[in-house]
A = this chain, B = another copy of it.
Amino acid sequence: MTETSSAKPFKRLLLTGAGGGLGTILRERAKAWADVVRLNDVKDLGPAREGEEIVIGDLGDRDAVLAMMEGVDAVLHFGGISVEDKFEPIMNANILGLHHLYEAVHKCGVKRVIYASSSHVVGFYETTQLVDAGMPLRPDGFYGVSKAFGEALSRYYYDRFGTETVCLRIGSSFPEPKNSRMMVTYLAYDDLVELIRCSLFTPRVGHTITFGTSNNATKWWDNKHAAHLGYVPKHSSSEFAANFPDSAAYPAPGDAPTIYQGGPFVTAGPMYK
C-alpha cells in the first residue's frame, strides 16, 4: 500500500514529455492526482508552478533518468518522439530511453506506469477492420515499431517483476478533429484525462493495453481487453460532424493512407523519400 500523507492520492507523479502537446495538457490536469507533479522534458518548461518540480534531461541519459525517478509513486510517460522520424533518434528516445525508464522504475520500486503507446502499432490494419489489443501488431513506421518495442518491454516488466503498466494506444488527441480520419481517431482532452485517471486508480491493472478514443461513431478499435479500466468517454467527434459534410470523393484504388488505419503515417518515413 502506498502511503499518502495528504488529501491527494499520490505524493509524487512523474510526467515525462511535459512540454509536448499532450504533456502541456497533462501538466495542468495531473495536479488533481498528486501533491507534486515532477515534470521532465529535454526542452525548457518555464518556471515551476505550485506543486511542480522540473527536471530537464534526456531519456537517452541513463543517470538522468535514474535521478528523476527518485521518490516517484507513478509515471505518466509521454516523453520521446511521437512522429515518424529517422531510426536513430527514435531508437535513442523511444527504445534506449524506455529501457532507462523501466530500469529506473524497477530500481526505485515505482508501482505503475501509464505509457503513451500509439495506435500506430496497428496502423497497417485496414480501415474496414476492427482491431483489438489481442491481435498481432502491424506498425506503420519506425515510430510504430518503437511503440511495439515499448509494449513488449513493459509486458516483460510485468511478467517478471509485477510492475504494472497501462499502454495507451492513443488515436488523435487535439482540440478538434482536423480531417475525416480524425473523426474516427479523435480523443477529446477531457476523455484523455479520464482515461489516464482510470488507468491510475483502478486498483489492479496488470499489463493493460487500451485504445484511446472518444465515443466516436465510427470505430476501428474494440476495447474489450480493457473493460476493467472503467473508462467511459463523454465526448464524440460527432460534435464536429458539421465540419466534415458528406462527400462522395472516394479515394483512388490503392491509396494507402485511406486503405490503412495509420493514415498519412503509412507513407511517411524520411529514409525513403
The residues of A with any CB-CB pair to B shorter than 8 Å are 1-2, 4, 9-10, 33, 73-74, 87-88, 91, 95-96, 99, 103, 106, 111-112, 121, 124, 126-130, 133-142, 144-145, 148-149, 152-153, 155-156, 159-160, 162, 164, 180, 183-184, 197, 200-206, 208, 216-220, 222, 224-225, 227-232, 238, 246-253, 258-259, 266, 269, 271-272
Contact = CB atoms under 8 A, between A and B. Distances in A.
B91 A205 contact: no
A184 B202 CA distance: 11
Given A134-B135, A149-B145, A112 B218 contact: no
A187 to B, nearest CB: 16
A69 to B, nearest CB: 15
Contacts of A232: 217, 238
A218 B232 CA distance: 9
Contact of A220 (B96, B217, B228): B228
Contacts of A204: 127-128, 250-251, 258-259
Given A103-B271, A155-B138, A217-B232, A200 B253 contact: no
A73 to B, nearest CB: 6
Contact of A148 (B88, B106, B149, B259): B149
A95 B149 CA distance: 10
Nearest to A229: B218
A128 B227 CA distance: 8
Contacts of A271: 103
A242 B130 CA distance: 35
B103 A247 contact: no
- For A73, A106, A230, A272, the residue with the greatest tally of chain B CB atoms inside 10 Å of its CB is A230
Enumerate the 9 nearest inter-chain pairs by beta-carbon distance, A residue then B residue, closest first: A218-B230, A148-B152, A217-B230, A124-B159, A9-B248, A219-B227, A201-B246, A128-B206, A149-B149
A269 to B, nearest CB: 8
Nearest to A3: B249
A263 B106 CA distance: 22
Given A2-B250, A160-B266, 15 more contacts: A1-B250, A2-B248, A73-B248, A91-B95, A127-B204, A128-B228, A129-B228, A130-B225, A130-B227, A133-B136, A137-B155, A141-B156, A141-B160, A216-B230, A219-B228
Given A203-B250, A204-B258, A99 B87 contact: yes
